[in-house]
Each structure stands twice: as structure tokens, then as C-alpha cells.
Structure 1
Amino acid sequence: MAESRLAFRAVVPGDRTALERMHRRCSEATRYHRFQTRGPGLPESYLDTVLGESAGVTSILATDGPPDRRRVVALASMAPVSPGVAELGILVEDGWQRRGVGRLLVRQLVGVGRAQALHALTAQTLTTRRWILGLLRDEVGGAVSYGPMSDTVRITAFLEPVGERCG
């Protein structure tokens, strides 16, 4: 599980440089897994979106380090794509992967989605990363479906209202 020195907070416009630095610290493979494109820089349109320049977007950072020198190590976002549906996006710096950081971020976004009365969350990922299905199933507690899109897969997790969640 993630280490206790992690802190989570909403993204603010002043985080642009810290997000760009975190993205540069990620390996090419990590960047490709997240954006399904090769390129050295954080896509400007995505950066604008997570920094709050698009209505209805929720973005959360995970930071590490002492309070006076915190460093961004992960970013999660949830952007509306249609009424009642939002798309998830998560980028975790290589050294923090497989330590529960992404799961904690997904859990927070699922909570926000429920509070906003969303009925589904979607994510697009490479077909080789189907383990994300299990993560969403665990965190959502509802039905999860997926459909192939060439070398990627579109995952949809259906949110149940909090009072109706089983298990």
C-alpha cells in the first residue's frame, strides 16, 4: 500500500511546472501507457484540462516529501464525456507504481463520481493492461464492461448509489 508520507490534494493552476516535471521523470513506457502516444512533453490540451480550464473536471495530485519540499508523484483526473459519464485518467511516476497510489486516486475519484451522481466511469487503456478492469471492479463495486478499440480497450465501470453497493 502507499506510504504514509503521501499527501493528496486538488490540482491548482500553479501546479503546471510540477506536473511537467513529474511527466519528464516518467519513463517513455509509462507515458505511452497513459497517453498511447510517443512524445516527450505532457500533452498541452490535457495539461490545460487538469489545471481546471475545462468545466466539470476533477483533478487530484499525490505528493511526496516533507511539507516544505513536496514533489508531485501522481496525477488522476476525471472529465465529463456525456451526461452522467466521466473518463478517468491516471499517471503514476515509475518509482511509485505498484505501491497503491493509483488505487487510492481511483478510490477518491469514484467517491467524487458518486457524490456527483454519475452513473458510469470510463477509461481507455492498452489491451495489454486489462488488470485495470479488476482495479475498477474492486473500487466501483458494480458491473464493469470493456470493448476493444484496435490496440486499446474502452472500460466502463457502472457506479451504484452508495446505499445500493453490495459486499
Structure 2
Amino acid sequence: MALWRVRATVDDRPGFLAVLTASLALRSVNILAVQVHTTEAGAVDDFLVDAPDALTEDELVAAIERGRGRDAWVSRSDVYGLIDPPTHALGLAARLAADPDGLHGALSSLLGGALVRREAGGATATGHSDTTMRLADPLSHGGALVVTRLEPAFTPAEFARAQALVEVARATVTRRMAGGVVLLPDGAEVTFRPAGSADVSAVHEMHSRCGERSLYLRYLAGTRGPSRARLSRLLTPARGCTLVAETTEAAPSAGLTGLPGRQLGGDFPAGLAPASASAPAGGSHIVAVANLIGEGETAEVALLVEDGWQRRGIGTALLRRLLALAGPAGFRSVTVHTHCENDAMLRTMRRLPHPARTDRDGSLISATIAVTELRTTV
């Protein structure tokens, strides 16, 4: 007996798959595994079969066509074809979580030996044709991964799986770039790391230690900050990332001007600790939070630093870290919003590398920078 990979399109109607399998059975072909890929042209059935040694490729194709299969593709396989596809994909994802630089090899393995090459720079539309996939490259700024396979034709399901592997690599790259210990100019150490849902309470408490002016400049309106539900969404955005800065040291003072961002939330419920509350005694505590959130090709940056930790370099360091993460996150530009009265943030914005555009709308100033300009400057 010999192992074959078989792929054919059948009408997505009741009984048509049974007709195909019956036709294969008449030639003593045993189906070991099957996947169904839904496409506009019909259901693409992908089989791993065990066929008699004497059965030729032409005879196998003829059996498929007699079973109402069309656009048939057959290829010899081996024992590695017996690996369960979901198990194979999960194994590749685990490898990427440990080493995102292996993305090329993982995509090639997932897609049956497809050729993967990197295309640098420029706007890149993702999508696929029968022979080519284009995927955003999380390891470069604005680049693309071009995946080529002459046959069988790529299906939407395969494209979705490839995108999922890219997202695993992207998440790993983001986590590695986001974390680290930062030594402030005054000698204090602050740890940067990605935020998570477990940080909601700590970030909620940090807001309660911020003065009204800091929150006004951060949210561009009078507010005590976002609700817990909104805060949870801000800490785990669907697109982009959120960083927190935490330390074991006590703040030396309070009441300084905060760093702003765009209005992203509503009001806190009543009953919060007063804004002058001190940081928790003992253990680590969060003293700043920074958001990189967007849709499409543009992201917005928002920062809030606890009053007693302002003007010590945390905001600038967080901003630069977010700008460095924008490319791997798939953004082509980043925008920072602030009030014209926020001198501290304006100074920070002037230190940004090559702002592409600065706009003013009443009291609001916005600075936009192209991610492609960040490759050699951040």
C-alpha cells in the first residue's frame, strides 16, 4: 500500500462527499484522514489515503473525477502525513512562542513545503491567490512575507492558519521588546512589561493616586478615569499593546503634571481613595501605564504617569518603547495627542524622531510619525 495526499473540489451539497468516497472505495483506496476547506467554488476536500501499490496517479485522478471531484491534485506522501493537522499547527505555534525567528520555517512546514521570502518596506495588502499569500511580517517594519506554492491552490482556511502563526510570532516579539528594567536618570529602577487582565486592580488604584490635573491631561477631559470594564479592555487591546511600569520604590513627591493621551474611557465609580493616597507599602506597585491602540494602519499612543513619578524620564522611556513596538504590531504610523497647555508632553513630543505632521485643533495638538522613520531612530 502507498500513502497519497489527495485534494479535490466537490459541490457543497448533501451526499456529494459520499459519492467521492464511494468512488475511491471501489479502487480499494482507504481514507486515513480528511479536512474540508470551504471556498466560494465549493468544498475542497483534502484527504490522506492509503492506496494499492499498483494504483497509478492517473488512475487515482480518474477515480476522483468519477466521484464528481474536480480540480484534482494528488501527490505521494509519507508517514509524516499521518500527523494530525491541529497537533502539527499547535506544535509549530509552540516553537514560535520560544523562537519567533523560526517563522519562515514554520509557515513552510504548515503549508506543505511552500516557499517563504521576505519583501521589505512599503504598504502591504495581505491576502492570497491560488499560488501566493501575502502576510504582514512581524519581524520587520512595514515588510511582508510572500508565500508561494504552485499547487495545490491555497484555500481561505490555509490563509487563516498562516495568519494565526504570524500572530503568535508577533505576540512573542512584542512581549520580548516590551519587557525590561529601566534605570532612571536619578538612579531608580523601573520595570516595564506588557499589561494583562490581572493588572486591572493595580492600575485602578494607580488612577486613584493621580491628581485631577494629571487625569485631565491624560484623558483630555474632567474624569476620574475609565471604569473597570473599560480599563480591562485598555489593558488587553484587540490590536496593539499596553505597557505598565512598576517599581518597589516609594515616590518622592506628588502633584506634578501628567502625560496625556486621547479620551478613551468614562468615569470611575464612587468610593475611590483620594487622589493624594500614597503608593502601597512594600512589594511592587504600578506607577505608569502606556497604551498603543489602533485599527488599520494607524495607532494612537496614550500615557499616564503617577504624580510622584513624573518628570523622572518614565514617560519618555515608555513612549519610545511604544514607538519601537508599533512596527511589529503592524502599524505604519503613530499619533500622539495632547493639550497645548501640557508643556511637559510638548517637550517630549518635540524630542520624537522626525514627526511626519503636527496639527492643532483648538487646544488639542497632535503629532503623527511614520513607523518607517522609526527603524533607525528609536
Shorter-chain-normalised TM-score: which range?
Answer: 0.7 to 0.9
Query: Aligned runs of 1:1-40 on 2, under 5 Å?
Result: 1=185, 3-40=187-224
| TM-score normalised over the length of structure 1 | 0.83
Q: 2-side partners of 1:48 and 1:101: how far apart?
A: 22
8 A contact 2:195–2:244 mirrored in 1: yes
Q: 1-side partners of 2:357 and 2:344: how far apart?
A: 13
Q: 1:91 to 1:111 in 2, by over 3 A?
A: same
Is 1:73 paired with 2:256?
no
Partner of 2:226: 43
8 A contact 2:240–2:293 mirrored in 1: yes
Partner of 1:123: 336
Q: Displacement, 1:87?
A: 0.1
Pairwise CA RMSD: 2.4
Q: 2-side partners of 1:2 and 1:47: how far apart?
A: 31
Q: Displacement, 1:84?
A: 1.7
Q: 2-side partners of 1:138 and 1:60: how far apart?
A: 21
8 A contact 1:85–1:122 mirrored in 2: yes
Q: 1-side partners of 2:304 and 2:211: how far apart?
A: 11
Give percent identity, aligned residues only.
25
Matched letter for residue 72 of structure 1: I
Q: 1:16 to 1:151 in 2, by over 3 A?
A: same
Query: Aligned runs of 1:11-160 on 2, under 5 Å?
Result: 11-40=195-224, 42-44=225-227, 46-52=230-236, 54-65=237-248, 69-81=283-295, 83-129=296-342, 132-139=345-352, 141-160=353-372
Q: 1:78 to 1:111 in 2, by over 3 A?
A: same
Q: Displacement, 1:3?
A: 4.1
**SS class of match (2:372):** coil
Instruction: Pick the structure with greater CA Rg.
Output: 2
8 A contact 2:298–2:332 mirrored in 1: yes
**SS class of match (2:221):** coil
Matched letter for residue 55 of structure 1: A
Q: 1-side partners of 2:299 and 2:318: how far apart?
A: 15
Unpaired segments of 5 or more residues in structure 2? 1-184, 250-281
Q: 1:148 to 1:161 in 2, by over 3 A?
A: closer
Matched letter for residue 142 of structure 1: H
Deviations 1:27-49 (A, max 9, x none): 11101010012123x21265133
Q: How many residues align?
A: 161
| TM-score normalised over the length of structure 2 | 0.39
Unpaired segments of 5 or more residues in structure 1? none
**SS class of match (1:72):** strand
Q: 2-side partners of 1:137 and 1:160: how far apart?
A: 18
Q: 1:161 to 1:152 in 2, by over 3 A?
A: closer
Q: 1-side partners of 2:293 and 2:321: how far apart?
A: 14
8 A contact 2:197–2:235 mirrored in 1: yes
Q: Displacement, 1:133?
A: 4.8
